[in-house]
A and B are shown apart, each in its own frame.
Chain A
Amino acid sequence: MTTPALKEWPLWEVFVRSKQGLEHKHCGSLHAADAAQALHMARDVYTRRQEGVSIWVVPSASITASNPDDKGELFDPAADKIYRHPTFYEIPEEVGHM
């Protein structure tokens, strides 16, 4: 393993949990030399008004994303499977909420 020669600080993606019980949500990105600094900076950039109780930072380079060109073959097959939704089934009125 070699230490990368960085001209710029690497990019990090920032995820913030707004309160206990909710998921971490992506809120933006920033540059930082290392993970600890990325956390400090995320605190200052993204939570100046108590927007969060927990922060994740992830090196942007570590994220594997689906390719937008594959959107059709990845997601279209779900479009004709409407029987996966509860509204597909008709239940008699007198049964009430189900």
Chain B
Amino acid sequence: MYTQSFSVADAPGQKPAAPTLSTENPQLMAAFDARIDADGRIEPQDWMPEAYRKTLVRQISQHAHSEIVGMLPEGNWISRAPSLKRKAILIAKVQDEGGHGLYLYSAAETLGTSRDQMLEGLHSGRAKYSSIFNYPTLTWADVGVIGWLVDGAAIMNQIPLCRCSYGPYARAMVRVCKEESFHQRQGYEALLVMMQGTEAQKAMVQDAVNRWWWKCLAMFGPPDADSPNSAQGMRWGIKRISNDDLRQKFVDATVPQAQVLGITLPDPDLKWNEARQHYDYGQIDWAEFWNTVEGNGPCNKERLSTRVKAHNDGQWVRDAALAYTRKQQQRAQKEAA
């Protein structure tokens, strides 16, 4: 399961801008704010400000798209998994990601957007998905590292989303988080096995960690100071923990895991800070991150075209299912007549 903890603007080349609230009915707005302040939950039929609805539709649909596109980098390795056991595990994981996408699309639909609209947004390139999937999976170690680090970072993001103020999103997240722990553990365990192998296998794990580490840190989104939407998301109870705080939690949790695994995290500035009681870490390359968000990463075009092709190749199945349903309905009508 995958999300970036922030919601990027869907129009390309635009950083998020704070939504305006001025046009809403002040009485309804006050009741809404009071419910949020009391840590209450908002359900689909409740009144909500348009900006809250829009923010949620964008965030949940981007999250759903990320699950669906997230099947691609790992799906590439199903036919090349090193054993039947690993292949079965990987199929189960990829199937979970598809399921997570469906939970999330359903949650977004409760806000009045249709599945067709959302898919159209993804397939036209207008809607974003997590940038982490615009990097290639070059070796089998990448599959392990995705489970350990990418899913690990996603779990950090998603646990606080289980307490999101919008009921359907929070409930979808509870279901997702229950299934997610298997994803991270299977990845870490696959790496542990490789680290007991040959020098070449160990080097492969280190190489994969070197390529993914910084991308995973960027998954938490820009530093709090450069994240204009975060404050509004926090105010609305959509976001519970800031980008930088989540990133710090992830670093602190991951360093000891890397030591047990026997690999080095590729950051010369990474060291324990006794005063802060946290690990310090180096500078993230945000220019590279935004460049990938804006469509110029190594795999953006390949991922999108693979996704669109998969959807188009499935058109005959959807058509056949509808044709079958119509035929059954007509037959039933004839028998009734």
Q: Which residues of A contact B (CB under 8 A)?
A: 1, 3, 6-9, 11, 27-34, 37, 44-45, 48-49, 65, 67-68
9 smallest CB-CB distances across A and B, nearest first, come from A33-B321, A34-B325, A33-B325, A29-B106, A68-B45, A3-B326, A33-B322, A45-B99, A3-B329
Residue contacts A-B, CB under 8 angstroms, 20 given: A1-B333, A8-B114, A8-B116, A9-B322, A28-B171, A29-B109, A30-B102, A31-B115, A33-B322, A34-B321, A34-B324, A34-B328, A37-B325, A44-B99, A48-B92, A48-B95, A48-B96, A49-B179, A67-B45, A68-B46
Bound-state Cα–Cα, A33 to B245, Å: 44
Bound-state Cα–Cα, A64 to B307, Å: 37
Q: Which residues of B contact A (CB under 8 A)?
A: 43, 45-47, 92, 95-96, 99, 102-103, 106, 109, 114-116, 171-172, 175, 179, 318, 321-322, 324-326, 328-330, 333
List residues of chain B with CB within 8 A of the CB of A44.
Answer: 95, 99
The answer to whether B95 and A28 touch across the interface, beta carbons within 8 angstroms, is no
Bound-state Cα–Cα, A51 to B275, Å: 46
Question: Do A28 and B318 form a contact, CB below 8 Å, given A48-B96, A68-B43, A68-B46?
Answer: no
List residues of chain B with CB within 8 A of the CB of A29.
Answer: 106, 109
The answer to whether B318 and A30 touch across the interface, beta carbons within 8 angstroms, is no
Bound-state Cα–Cα, A67 to B43, Å: 12
Bound-state Cα–Cα, A15 to B45, Å: 20
* Residue of A7, A8, A33, A68 most packed against chain B (CB within 10 A): A33
Bound-state Cα–Cα, A48 to B175, Å: 12
The answer to whether A28 and B326 touch across the interface, beta carbons within 8 angstroms, is no
List residues of chain B with CB within 8 A of the CB of A3.
Answer: 326, 329-330
B47 nearest CB neighbor, chain A only: A68
Question: Do A48 and B318 form a contact, CB below 8 Å, given A33-B324, A65-B45, A68-B46?
Answer: no
Question: Do A28 and B172 form a contact, CB below 8 Å, given A33-B324, A37-B321, A48-B96?
Answer: yes
* Residue of B45, B102, B330 most packed against chain A (CB within 10 A): B102
Question: Do A11 and B109 form a contact, CB below 8 Å, given A33-B321, A48-B95, A48-B96?
Answer: yes
B116 nearest CB neighbor, chain A only: A8
B334 to chain A, nearest CB (A): 11
Known contacts A37-B321, A48-B95; can you find 17 more A-B pairs with CB under 8 A? A3-B329, A3-B330, A11-B109, A28-B106, A28-B171, A29-B109, A30-B102, A31-B115, A34-B321, A34-B325, A44-B95, A45-B103, A48-B92, A48-B99, A48-B179, A67-B45, A68-B43
B119 nearest CB neighbor, chain A only: A8
List residues of chain B with CB within 8 A of the CB of A6.
Answer: 322
List residues of chain A with CB within 8 A of the CB of B330.
Answer: 3
List residues of chain A with CB within 8 A of the CB of B92.
Answer: 48
A6 to chain B, nearest CB (A): 6
Bound-state Cα–Cα, A1 to B109, Å: 28
B92 nearest CB neighbor, chain A only: A48
List residues of chain A with CB within 8 A of the CB of B333.
Answer: 1
Bound-state Cα–Cα, A68 to B96, Å: 34
List residues of chain A with CB within 8 A of the CB of B325.
Answer: 33-34, 37
A77 to chain B, nearest CB (A): 21
List residues of chain A with CB within 8 A of the CB of B115.
Answer: 8, 31
